[in-house]
Structure formats: C-alpha cells, structure tokens
Amino acid sequence: MTNVPYITLNVAMTADGKTDTIARRGALISSPLDMMRVDQLRAASDAIMVGGHTLLGDDPRLTVKTESLRKARLAAGKGENPIKVGIITNADLNRNCRFLNNGPAKIVIFTTTKTAPEKIRELRDLGVNVFVTEGLRVDLKKAITQLGNLGVKELLVEGGGTLNEELLKLNLINEINIYIAPLIFGGSSAPTFASSDGFEREYAKQLKLDSIQQYDDDGLVLRYII
C-alpha cells in the first residue's frame, strides 16, 4: 500500500487489561492528566477513527477540547478539529448524535451496502463524506488508502476492540500508546482493546517498547512501536 497515513492506536485500559466494565457503558478510565495527553494527540492528528460499536455505544465527539490547541491548529492552516472518521457496517446514526454535530469538523464514514440508501442520502445531505464498500464488512485497506488520498498523514485510532484488532491483523498500525490506569475492573466478559477473533501464538504481534511515562496519579503510558 502507498500513500497511507502513519497510524497511532491510542488505548486506555485498567491494570487487568479491561477497556470497560462488564456493563459496557463507557466507564471512565483515563485520568485528567491522561485526558490532556490524548487531547494533544488529537490536536497533532489529521484524522481520528473509531469503529461502529464505539460510534453507536459511546457517541464520541472526537474533538480537541483545549482552546489553545484548537487555535494552534487554525494558525497552522488546519481545521479547528481533525477529520472525524467512522468505520461502521450499518451507519444507522441518529442525525442529532454528537459525532455528527459536535465540531466544527469534516466527517467521513466508511460503510457497507447494509446501510439503507435513504440513510446514506441523509448523511450526505448533512455534509458527511460517505464511502460504501462491497462485502459484509468495511474494507479497511481501501478505507485507509482513501484517507491517504484525502490528505490524511497522521491518523489516530481510538477503538473499539474489533477495529483495533482488525487493523493489527492487516499490519496497518505503526505505534500503540497505552494508558494503564491504577484500577481493576475484572469480569471475564469485560472488553479488552483487541477483541475480535484473536491471534494464535505464532501470529501474535511483536511490539518494541519505545518509552514509559509515569504520572503522579499512578497511571502509566507505554509507547510501543510495531
């Protein structure tokens, strides 16, 4: 693949590797210090990508919260916020959801023919760039290539677990930033940050530790290069 962005996967998880509780209601994991780090990551990115479960379950804003960071983006000739990217098999989004309305930001959605034609028209009428790929699931390689064609050089991925794992399987992730909170959620059904079909041992992804940052609140940030 050519003309593809540099992809950073950012994850917040507990000390026992969970990204949510068994209730799966978007439990807060990141500390205020880590939220500042994530905001800086977002501000440095051209686009932020999330998967369908995150879109429908969490309805994220995916915006830069710090005013000074937004002003710095504008001063650099960029949009106030990065492009918001959704990967979703059936893009049955509420037209009033935060993902579509909190901004200002360009919005790109990659979906499949499972999305009703009238929903695609509605999204396009709202100014969303909608790309429809063939097959039962979004073709992630084509989606990443298309983002490169749109000028995205730095792509930040914020989950969820299925999207994360599929990108890893396709060898599309360049680095992983993991915030480990000093928390234990437990629960065998609680999600982890790579949670699709899994890897056999011989296909496990090998990581190279680049740096470790320890916060005063006992959280850790691990930066891995793939």
Question: How confident is the prediction along the chain (226 residues), in pLDDT tens digits per residue?
Answer: 568 999 999 999 999 999 999 999 889 999 999 999 999 999 999 999 999 999 998 999 999 999 999 999 999 999 999 999 999 999 999 999 999 999 999 999 999 999 999 999 999 999 999 999 988 999 999 999 999 999 999 999 998 999 999 999 999 999 999 999 999 999 999 999 998 889 999 999 999 999 999 999 999 999 999 9
Could you tell me which of 157, 153, 151 has the C-alpha nearest to residue 42?
157
Number of folded domains that form the chain: 1
Q: What integer pLDDT is reported at residue 3 of this predicted model?
A: 81
148, part of any domain: yes
Phi, psi torsion values for 187, nearest 5 degrees: 90, 115
**155 lies in some domain:** yes
| Residue 63 resides in a domain | yes
Question: Does the residue 1 lie in any domain?
Answer: no
CATH number (domain holding residue 199): 3.40.430.10
| C-alpha to C-alpha distances, 24 to 28, 43, 70, 94, 170, nearest whole angstrom | 11, 27, 31, 20, 26
Whether 209 maps to a domain, the answer reads: yes
In a domain, 84, yes or no: yes
Q: Which two tokens stand for residue 223?
A: 């930066």
> What pLDDT, on a 0 to 100 scale, did the predictor assign at position 2?
66
Residue 136 covered by a domain: yes
Which range of residues forms the domain containing residue 23? Answer: 6-225
